[in-house]
Chains A and B, each alone.
Chain A
Amino acid sequence: MILKFVIVCSLAIMPLSASAQTSVRLLFSNVEKIQQMTSDVRAKVNLTQQKVSQGTKNMELIYYRRDSDDSFLIVFSAPESDKGNGYLRVGDNFWMYRRNTRTFQHINRDENIGGTNAHAEDFEKRKLTELYAPALDGAGNEILFEELLGKIPVYKFEVKAIVNDVDYPKKNYWVRRDNNLPLKEQSYSMSGTLMETAYYPQYTVVDGRYIAVKMLFVDEFEKGNKTLVEISNISTEKLQDYLFTKPYLENLSK
């Protein structure tokens, strides 16, 4: 009985060696391909942010992204207090627009967006494989397991940052075994404390690519804080240059 239990457990959580059919490098590369946008994007984003000390805040924004130069434009349409405020990035220039003062202000990449935990640099086009590499155990093997996430067979693997310019130096991923879609992601601080868990419960297919349309970010440090992100009205039609200009943002925010 005990032996059967041990065998079942070891089958359920079976570490794979790097020489097995799959590897962390391959999986992570697939995750990168899945998450990488290769066309212009327009979408509506709903954010529901719940903070223990501040209650629930609903935000709505329109997001435009141009693939050729990784420019993007964000305009808030809700709540009323943030309506009309926006962010514009073209090349290395990043501006914040405030509707009440009708002014543009140059901001840094580490400024947060609309009071959320998202930062300007989070919207940059960066390759995951240039930021992270597979973490290795004591024997020098990639840390990779087969597990069940609920009832879904997944691979679980660990990566660590290879550059300083990232939010979290260590991450764990749970990706589907059939199509390598990330379902869960845990992010750790430098001291090894679990800081955030992200869930990707829903995907849609647009132009043959998977896009996560529902994401839940749970703050593991300060319990009770979470943010639900829902993406809708996704369009991959080519976006015109005039969209990524200050006058357009100003007009859009009126």
Chain B
Amino acid sequence: MLGIAIGLGVTILIMASSFSRGIEDIMFNKVVSYVAGHVSVNMNEGFGKRVPVFRDRERLFDIIEKNCDKDAIIDEGVGIFTRAIGNGRADNMILVGVDTTRKITDEQQQEYDESFNVIDGKFEDLGRSGSANAVILSRDRADSLNVKKSDIISIRFRNVFGQNQSERLTVVGVLKNDNIFMQGVMFCELENVKAMMGYRPYESANIHITVKDPKRNAVRVADTIHAALTPGPAFISGKVSYNSGSSLSEGIESEVSRLRVSDSEVTVIPFRGDDDSIRLITSSFELVKGKMEDVILRDGVMVSSKLAEILGVAPGCEVMISYDTRFENQRVSFKVEIKGVFNADSVRGDKTIYMHEALFYPKFYDRIPDLDKDISNAFIPAESAPFKSALGMEWELLDRTRNSDEMRKKYAAQSRKKIRATTIDVNSMYESASDVLKLESVLNIITLSAVLILFFIILIGVVNTLRMTIKERTREIGTLRAIGMQRRDVWAIFMIETTLLALLASIAGTFFALILMWLLTLIEFNVTDNPLGILLVSNHLYFLPSLWNIAFNVALILVITVITAYFPAKRAANLSSAEALRHYE
């Protein structure tokens, strides 16, 4: 009976741990990596709204690739909520960008084939030219939109800047979706989705990174990337000009601009708009013309006295700032009105303009200057400058957090700070996918509970069984002791007996567990409308046993058995042979 109990216990333990490992595998390597990546780098350029764009994709990818594991997969995560209209029917869909041009390993290809079961068409057709915005969608949504392969779907959505946009998509494939989360998703080539969203070719969306062994590596990789994303100072280095006679037009430099009366080199530097920074600016700059109350407003601009002298400007004058962009080989220009003139010096710069960040950043981000090239000509205030902390940076790097609660507090604090620069937030899956991971924790707790219950069952079973055995074999023990067997040997007999019983029962239990798991995976569940369907693979239960896991569980049972058998065996060994021989039931 004890053997049967131990065998059943092992069966339950192996099945529970295999199921838990299977769910962990689904969570980390499928759900989390598809939804948010094991590590994510999230940008937001918008003030009070979500604008997930980083204006220099090459630079961002360069930093990430240099500070990531070599076998990590780095993707841009672009997904749009859309209202889709098919043939006479409409539905809500999420359009997700997929990079079909990226080289993948055979293992990854197999994984994709298992995850995306295309029943009509081919996944590779997403990248084929000739079809306007080729998409693949689930069979359920194809039915709800009344579309088939080669049909057209019209979608409405808001692009990355919040503008209403519409597009036409061509259905090139239909998926047999295996879980509820894939039902409402349409897949399209990443570059097409980015173009629809309004990203320029050199701009990036949020980044998702998939790493090997995420439980061990995700936090480390996130910390490394975070450290590498420290921003430099934001500035625009170019020319400033003033023409008191004609009105200048903004935009690309034209012939009119050559008729300027006065111009000069200039470095334009942003100052932050929060209360502390404004106080610092107010106390650090002495105005010789204009009012500080006007300078600290959202359209505030102050120019150095030296520059004002060169240009012949005073508060109220409009100057034109022009500079070369990093991309598209353009020279762009914009007008600003001077609100104040400050005393020029070596700390504040001779040919500098300080501008409120609310005025600076829209220009700066819309047409990024080539900071690496310009820094040699630019004036950057020294670290020792008293107002240095009030100056704007290329972006604002948010602090790392360890869990979703800390992350929520961080975002609440960020919204109070009213940051105008692009914010960059590096998260591991423990923050971005914590709700998904909580499910995995719950399952681990269930498995642990099963272990504890088994521990007590075995504890009670072994102790009681051994007590009964010792009682029944008291005279036998007495006989063995009388003929010269030592206490240690008597103890060893009981220990070996119990251990062998546990070992054989564990082996039998293991085989039974493997057979039972195989039988259970044959059952097909139809749970397409149930969120728990995410725990299934192709509508079947998913167990992931491993030799190491089985060996660990068997060893655990054996250890529990040995520990619980120790004291009864010792009591048996300590029986006096004379008393034992006189014992009658």
A residues at B contact (CB < 8 Å): 52-53, 92, 94, 106, 108-110, 119, 121, 161, 163-169, 187, 189-191, 193, 195-196, 221-222
A31 to B483, CA, bound (A): 116
Residue ID in chain A nearest B362 by CB atoms: A163
Q: Are A164 and B161 in contact (CB under 8 A)?
A: yes
> Among A92, A108, A190, A196, which residue has its beta carbon within 8 angstroms of that of B198?
A190
Q: Are B164 and A165 in contact (CB under 8 A)?
A: no
Q: Could you say which residues of chain A place their CB within 8 Å of the CB of B528? A: none
The smallest beta-carbon distance between B332 and chain A, in angstroms, is 14
Q: Could you say which residues of chain A place their CB within 8 Å of the CB of B165? A: 189-191
Residue ID in chain B nearest A110 by CB atoms: B49
Residue ID in chain A nearest B167 by CB atoms: A191
Q: Could you say which residues of chain B place their CB within 8 Å of the CB of A109? A: 46, 48-49
The smallest beta-carbon distance between B172 and chain A, in angstroms, is 20
The smallest beta-carbon distance between B275 and chain A, in angstroms, is 12
Check if B163 is an interface residue, CB within 8 A of chain A. Answer: yes
The A interface, classified by DSSP as helix, strand, loop or mixed, is loop
10 A-B pairs within 8 Å (CB atoms) are namely A52-B90, A53-B90, A92-B47, A92-B48, A110-B49, A163-B362, A190-B163, A191-B167, A221-B166, A222-B83
Q: How many residues of B contact A (CB 8 A)?
A: 25
Q: List B residues 44-60 near A (Cβ within 8 Å).
A: 46-50
A161 to B163, CA, bound (A): 10
Q: Are B166 and A191 in contact (CB under 8 A)?
A: yes
Known A110-B162, A121-B48; 11 more pairs at CB < 8 Å: A94-B48, A108-B49, A109-B48, A164-B161, A164-B163, A189-B156, A189-B164, A190-B165, A195-B166, A221-B154, A222-B90
Binary CB contact string for chain B from 141 to 166 against chain A (1 if under 8 A, 0 otherwise) = 00000000000001010110111111
A164 to B158, CA, bound (A): 12
The smallest beta-carbon distance between B339 and chain A, in angstroms, is 18
The B interface, classified by DSSP as helix, strand, loop or mixed, is mixed
A196 to B167, CA, bound (A): 15
Q: Could you say which residues of chain B place their CB within 8 Å of the CB of A119? A: 162
Binary CB contact string for chain B from 345 to 371 against chain A (1 if under 8 A, 0 otherwise) = 000000000000000001000100000
Q: Are A222 and B163 in contact (CB under 8 A)?
A: no
Check if B415 is an interface residue, CB within 8 A of chain A. Answer: yes
Residue ID in chain A nearest B273 by CB atoms: A92
A189 to B154, CA, bound (A): 13
Q: Are A165 and B162 in contact (CB under 8 A)?
A: yes
The smallest beta-carbon distance between B179 and chain A, in angstroms, is 25
Q: Could you say which residues of chain A place their CB within 8 Å of the CB of B156? A: 189, 195, 221-222
The smallest beta-carbon distance between A141 and chain B, in angstroms, is 17
Q: Are A168 and B167 in contact (CB under 8 A)?
A: no
The smallest beta-carbon distance between A217 and chain B, in angstroms, is 13
- For the complex of A and B, list the 4 residue pairs with the smallest distance between their C-beta atoms, beginning with the closest: A164-B161, A110-B49, A193-B166, A109-B48
Given A53-B90, A164-B161, A165-B162, CB of A108 within 8 Å of CB of B167: no
Q: Are B48 and A108 in contact (CB under 8 A)?
A: yes
Q: Could you say which residues of chain B place their CB within 8 Å of the CB of A187? A: 164
Q: List B residues 453-488 near A (Cβ within 8 Å).
A: none
Q: Could you say which residues of chain A place their CB within 8 Å of the CB of B412? A: 106
The residue in B50, B164, B198 that gathers the most chain A C-beta atoms within 10 A of its C-beta is B164
Check if B66 is an interface residue, CB within 8 A of chain A. Answer: no
Q: Could you say which residues of chain B place their CB within 8 Å of the CB of A121? A: 48-49, 162
Q: Could you say which residues of chain A place their CB within 8 Å of the CB of B410? A: none
A165 to B358, CA, bound (A): 14
The smallest beta-carbon distance between A29 and chain B, in angstroms, is 17
Q: Could you say which residues of chain A place their CB within 8 Å of the CB of B158? A: 110
> Among A92, A108, A168, A169, which residue has its beta carbon within 8 angstroms of that of B50?
A108
A168 to B366, CA, bound (A): 18
The smallest beta-carbon distance between A165 and chain B, in angstroms, is 7
